[in-house]
A and B are shown apart, each in its own frame.
Chain A
Amino acid sequence: MSKVKRGFMMYAYSNEQLDYAKLACMCAASIKYNLKENNITLVTDTSTLGWMKNIIDESTVDKLFDNMIISDQKHPKNTRTFNDSPYTQFEANFNNHGREQAYDLSLYDETILIDVDYFVMSNKLDLLWNNSKNILINKKSTDLRCEPLKSDERLNVAGIPMYWATVVYFRKCEESKIFFNLVKYIKENYDYFGNLYGIKGSLYRNDFVFSIAKHIINGFVETNDSLGIDTLVSMMPEDEVVEIRNNEILFLSNERKTTPWVNRLLTIKNVDVHMMNKRAIIRHFEDVMDIYGGEG
């Protein structure tokens, strides 16, 4: 069997509050629907996979995910406060460890490591393949209204730029190996690096770790390089999904900065969206699977 040269890697570990199995299925379905190069490897654990096979039939799981890597790792305590619209907050363990192994686990020559709350509604990720750079990570992010996420531009007010580990392109080569080994090292010494780079709080985030690694790898200077395919458009945790359409979502965009009791209708079409309100998209699981069908 010939080796597939290019593909996506995603991690899904459900917690007591969020169904990451559903998120992974929706992300995978949107990739299969929109992208030419759409081979997908899912890294998950036995319980998440077991639940996934309960919610959709096994043939669909096989269609969505070309490869499955089971990693029953124990997740350390990493409590995160999640928002679901401006009116609901809940806490859950953020099971986000394991990305540092992506280079070792990847079956591809070129990999796009993608978060399962990234919803693809365009073919722009197809532009990343065969890139002249070995590692690409997004530095720019906006909300649905195209306003920059000012509070997330840097790790702290006077700190290094924040890189979003939501979508990471890498090629198997020495540079990427060094990068991911550095990510592992930073993770092992997270308390130290968190202090050194002025990260507030104790929450472990891949964005922070990748940002620190990028800063070190770049020679401790800021550079302009980013993912290349435009800014990362993010649905904020206070926003809501009203309707799912074909490569289009009707949102209620919350005016969180000025009048948080006001929500405005807004459509995003043919643009990929980082769905930070995970419950909002999970509520539309059936609609997503009907439209995107799990078909390649």
Chain B
Amino acid sequence: MDERLIKALEFSNYQKTLQLKLQSLRLTRDHDLTLSYNNHIFKNNQELIALVSAFTKDKTLIVYDVNDNPVRIDDVKDFLKILKANYKKANEKYYDEFVNLKKARNIKKLAGVS
């Protein structure tokens, strides 16, 4: 086989494995961004944090849980504090792993195989 094609296929294999690894990191991040409050489960994201931040002067706020049910938040500031802490922790972990991934130059390193 032509050397150029071999190299291209090797790179293609590496790229495909890299994509799967990125997907796996995002899956972990999404799971980390799932939290429970007031007996409801929420998907934490930038939109939710922005919405709650806009209502910190209000005592209560209605938001939607993962099943699109309305939930009354009775302590908006407390809810925001929890959302921000969760968001920060999940994304700092995601960022660190993402940066490490960039250093992996072959499939073995991507998969963490010794």
Contacts and interface: CB of A to CB of B under 8 A. Distances in A.
A229 interface: yes
B23 A124 contact: no
Nearest to A126: B36
Given A122-B31, A127-B36, A264 B16 contact: yes
A128 B27 CA distance: 19
A270 B32 contact: yes
Nearest to B93: A270
Given A130-B39, A264-B20, A225 B67 contact: yes
Interface residues of B, number: 28
A146 B40 CA distance: 25
Contacts of B41: 127-128, 131, 228-229
A230 to B, nearest CB: 6
29 contacts: A127-B34, A127-B36, A128-B36, A131-B39, A132-B39, A132-B69, A133-B67, A145-B20, A146-B23, A146-B26, A146-B27, A224-B68, A225-B67, A229-B31, A230-B30, A230-B31, A230-B34, A243-B113, A253-B20, A264-B20, A265-B17, A265-B20, A265-B111, A266-B111, A267-B111, A267-B112, A268-B27, A271-B28, A271-B31
Interface of B: 16-17, 20-21, 23-24, 26-28, 30-32, 34-36, 39-41, 65-69, 107, 110-113
Given A264-B16, A271-B28, 11 more contacts: A122-B31, A124-B34, A145-B20, A224-B68, A228-B65, A250-B113, A266-B21, A267-B111, A267-B112, A268-B28, A271-B27
